Amino acid sequence: MQRAAAAHEDASMTTETATRARTLVDLPSPKGVPVLGNALKMDPKRIHLVLEEWERELGPVFTIRLGPQQVLVCADAGMLQTALRERPDKYRRFSPIESVLKEMGGNGVFSVEGEGWRPQRQLVMHALASTNFPAFFPAMHAITERLHRHWRRAAEHGEIVDMGKDLARYTVDVTTALAFGEDPNTLEKPGDAIQDHMALIFPMIMARVNAPFPLWRYIKLPRDREFDRSLRVVQEHVHGLIERTRKRMAGLPPLHPHNLLEAMLQSSAQPGSGITDDIIFANVMTVLLAGEDTTAHTLAWTMYFLGTRPDIQPRMHAAAVEALGEARVCPAFDDIKRLDFFEAVAHEATRLKPVVPALYLETVTDTVLGDVALPPGTPIFFLLRPSMLDSDHFANPAAFLPERWEAGHHQVQPHDTRAYAQFGAGPRVCPGRHLAGVELRLVLSMLARNFTLELAVDPATIAEVSAFTMRPSAMPVRLTPRPD
């Protein structure tokens, strides 16, 4: 189906053409019920699938109603890129996201808006700059070696590997070590791990952001009490990270900070910095949650395609042997650039199974997007997958073709990278995207070098679950060691 909009280069309209723009009432909409509108259909675990189903029925631009609020739903890549470029002046993140995260103490660089965003952004971007990665590499290498040992033991004993759990633990270990200067080694610690509590947070954020009424602020249901217990554990963990770092730094001369948390604490001590304890807490929590969730789910969905497309594995193994030689894990940071194909595999996996299936924005001023006039405060739900499955953007779009992402590869055309917005774009592009790329390369090259993989369940039983990001319902696999 042809979905490309005519105004991809600049979906904004001039004042003259704005007078001819459509309004929200001119757009198609699915049937709803009185008062609640379409809210009853918005199952938080399936919200992206519900919206995509309506998009197939109604087209790439339509509206839904959540209680009294009219929402624009858009699957046009050009309109999305325009909105992302014009943040924060014309668009902001959907305001309930900020309010929900703020009451959790997590209103950090991801969700904060207005004047509070820029200083937080500068701090996080500096800490996660790619120029810091050579110094990060020894810790990342050690944690990847730990993951290899863990998987080899499981493979030698014929155990089924719960990839969702293992990858979450791996990414928490990497994020905590690099951003906060501690290696929690959750991969090898039995029992209750911090990410078991973190796993409850994103689904509840999704449910509360899309709730037509904030009932949890007045009545606590059992799921709210369970969430509150897990949130307290995560908050205590974050407070512990901050206090231990403060103690390490106490009495020492000012030095170049070794991680994000040290940088925040040093900045907060400067007169007029504006970096308060609340801001530090919010950003530690933000980095911990975001660093675990998106990368772990990207890797898990990549495992799905390696299981359903085993013909990809020999090429990955050959590429890993060529890059790593006899090493089991990428031995040096300079070798990371030789692992382009592994990041290409992950990109292709998330084109078909996007970890970020939707972006939730809101207008700040009167504006026209595409040919639709929008008043201030209009929520916009951007759907990402329809554009990535559009043949106007990607050739043979239903096929899993990692080579389409390889630099200098010209046989899979068209290839419109603007339609792939898993890390966002514009001023608020994801600050952790480069770190995620290194993690993807390390884990996938280690896996391909040392193991073959097969799914331990029928792939048809693995469902897409929306929990702010989109994760697989399960990802059990069997690993077989490759001969030395």
- Tokens read off for 171: 């990414």
For residue 378, which amino acid is it? Answer: T
Please, what is the angle between helix 277-308 and helix 117-127, to 10°? 60
Q: How far is residue 313's CA from residue 332's CA, in Å, rounded to a whole number? A: 23
Question: How open is the CA angle 35-40-45, to the nearest 5 degrees?
Answer: 150
> Is 430 flagged in the annotation as binding?
yes
First to last CA, the chain: 48
Question: Residue 458 contacts by C-beta under 8 Å, 6 or more apart in sequence?
Answer: none
Strand order in the sheet with 69-74: 61-66, 69-74, 379-383, 358-363, 91-93
Q: How far is residue 194's CA from residue 37's CA, in Å, rounded to a whole number? A: 38
Beta-carbon count within 10 A of 135 CB: 12
Q: How far is residue 303's CA from residue 22's CA, in Å, rounded to a whole number? A: 44
In a 13 Å sphere around the CA of 205, the CA atoms on its Cβ side amount to: 29
- Tokens read off for 473: 């319902």
On whether the CB atoms of residues 202 and 469 are closer than 8 A, the answer is: yes
| CA nearest neighbour of 247 among 261, 237, 260, 236 | 261
| CA nearest neighbour of 395 among 378, 414, 369 | 414
Q: How far is residue 288's CA from residue 449's CA, in Å, rounded to a whole number? A: 29
**Which DSSP string corresponds to 301-328?**
HHHHHHHH-TTHHHHHHHHHHHHHTT-S
H/E run at residue 385: helix 385-388
On whether the CB atoms of residues 281 and 231 are closer than 8 A, the answer is: no
Annotated binding site: 430
Feature table: binding site for heme: 430
